[in-house]
Amino acid sequence: MPIEKCQFHFDLFGLHAVEVYFGMLDAFLAAEELPKEYRNRCQDILCNDRERKGRSQFHW
């Protein structure tokens, strides 16, 4: 098999593995609950992409 095809196959496999991994993390965090002391707390945030400030509730 030419090197280019091997690299392409590896890239697709690597991408799929990352998608599966992040899917597992999303499922794990969705099942978790925040401790009571953090449930109604907010944090001031700065979005570097949009150069805006905002406020967000704590979440996983």
Q: Express each pLDDT in 26-60 by its tens digit.
A: 898 888 888 888 888 999 999 888 889 999 887 76
This model's pTM is above 0.85: no
Fill in the amino acid letter for 6. Answer: C
d(CA 14, CA 20): 10
Do 33 and 58 contact (CB within 8 A), yes or no?
no
Is the model's pLDDT at 9 over the cut of 70? no
Do 46 and 31 contact (CB within 8 A), yes or no?
no
The per-residue pLDDT for 1 is 47
* Residue predicted with more confidence, 8 or 58: 58
Task: Note the helical H segments in 1-60.
Answer: 3-31, 36-39
Fill in the amino acid letter for 21. Answer: Y
Mean pLDDT (whole number) for 1-28: 69
